[in-house]
Amino acid sequence: MKTVYGPVPSWGLGRSLGVDPVCAERKTCSFDCIYCQLGKTKVMTSERKEFVKTDRILSDLKEILPRVEADIITFSGTAEPTLAKNLGEIADGIRPLTDLPLAILTNSSLMGRRDVIEDLLKFDVVVAKLDAPNSELFEKINRPAPGITFDSVVKGIKAFNKASGRRLGRLALQMMFIEAIKSYAAEMADLVRELKPDEVQINTPLRPCAVKPLSRVEIAWIAAHFKGPKVISVYDAKRQTVDVDDIDEVHKRRPVLYSG
Q: Residue 258 falls within a domain, yes or no? A: no
| Domain residue limits at 33 | 4-253
The lowest-confidence range among 25-39, 46-60, 75-89, 234-248 is 234-248
Domain presence at residue 259: no
Counting the structural domains of the chain, the total is: 1
Domain-located, residue 152: yes
Q: Tell me, yes or no, whether 169 lies in a domain.
A: yes
Position 251 scores a pLDDT of 46
What digits encode the pLDDT tens for the residues 189-205?
999 999 999 999 999 99
pLDDT greater than 50 at residue 260? no
pLDDT at 170 over 60: yes
CATH number at residue 169: 3.20.20.70
Mean pLDDT of all residues in the chain?
90
Residue 249 clears pLDDT 70, i.e. is over it: no
Q: What is the pLDDT of residues 61-80, one digit of tens each?
A: 999 999 999 999 999 988 99
Asked, for residue 59, whether it belongs to a domain, the answer is yes
Task: Report pLDDT digits (tens) over 111-159.
Answer: 999 999 999 999 999 999 999 999 999 999 999 999 999 999 999 999 9
| In a domain? residue 260 | no
**DSSP string across the chain:** --SEEEEEEETTTEEEEEE-SS--SS-EESB--TT-TT-S-SEE----B--S-HHHHHHHHHHHGGG---SEEEE-SSB-GGGBTTHHHHHHHHGGG--S-EEEEE-STTTTSHHHHHHHTT-SEEEEE---SSHHHHHHHH-BPTT--HHHHHHHHHHHHHHTTT-TT-EEEEEE--TTTGGGHHHHHHHHHHH--SEEEEE---SSSSSPPPPHHHHHHHHTT--SSEEEETTTS-------S-HHHHHHH-SS----
pLDDT bin (cut points 50, 70, 90) of residue 213 is: very high
Grade residue 253 by pLDDT with cuts at 50, 70 and 90.
very low
In a domain, residue 211? The reply is yes
Give a yes or no: residue 230 inside a domain: yes
